[in-house]
Amino acid sequence: MQHPAWDAASLHRAIVRAHAAGEVEIAVSFRAVNRTGAPGFRTTDIVVPPFVILVLSLYVLFAVGPVAGTLALLAGMGLLLFVLRPRNKQRTMDRTRALALAKLEDWQALWRLGGLALRSTRDPARDCISPDGDWQAFARDHLMPAPAPTPAPGETVSDTE
């Protein structure tokens, strides 16, 4: 039986509290959230770095020469592939996780996109993966307090324990 106060907002708050306490891990699927329409998506993370590298390489090409321009382009591409992309990926995942924890609407949107997964730190086999998993059931079953026993007529609460 569902407790009447366990609506989506209270279950989301329970996830936020559990994550802050280290009881639940929230994984982010970069592939699912790195698209237009996802909360936290920024086109600038994708477009600006290669554009800047290309413009600077062209500047070096015309200012210094073709060898220096080519070397600048190669160095820039190495920087993009091995430093900037991993850094932007981590920033996107951190930003997405923060948005999901801050607002229920963002949580729900990211869940529908398949961008989130929950895993209990106490029992890693307990997980819930979006979009097919039921995050509300996970929160209700694993993060909310058990309902108090209801005594039968003529019994006291201590009789039922």
pLDDT digits (tens, 9 = 90+) for 96-139: 999 999 999 999 999 999 999 999 999 888 999 999 999 999 99
The tally of domains found in the chain comes to 1
Residue 49's domain spans which residues? 8-146
Q: What is the mean pLDDT of the chain?
A: 90
The confidence band for 51, taking pLDDT boundaries of 50, 70 and 90, is: very high
The verdict on residue 85 lying in a domain is yes
Q: In this predicted structure, what is the pLDDT of residue 85?
A: 95
For residue 42, tell me if it sits in a domain: yes
161 within some domain: no
pLDDT at 44 over 60: yes
Residue 64 lies in a domain: yes
Q: Name the band, by pLDDT with cuts 50, 70 and 90, for residue 6.
A: confident
Q: What is the C-alpha separation between 161 and 158, in angstroms, rounded? A: 5
Does 151 map to a domain?
A: no
Note the pLDDT of residue 124. 86
| 93 located within any domain | yes
pLDDT value at 1 more than 50: no
Buried b (16+ CB within 10 A) or exposed e, 130-146: beebebbebbbebbbee
Q: How far apart are CA 140 and CA 131, in angstroms?
A: 17
DSSP-derived 3-state class of residue 27: strand
Q: What are 19's two structure tokens?
A: 């994550």
Question: Does residue 155 fall inside a structural domain?
Answer: no
Does a structural domain hold residue 102?
Answer: yes
pLDDT attached to residue 72: 97
Residues 6+ apart with CB under 8 A from 72: 56, 57, 60, 61
- pTM of the full predicted structure? 0.80
Q: Please, how many CA atoms are within 13 Å of residue 40, restricted to the half-sphere of its CB? A: 29
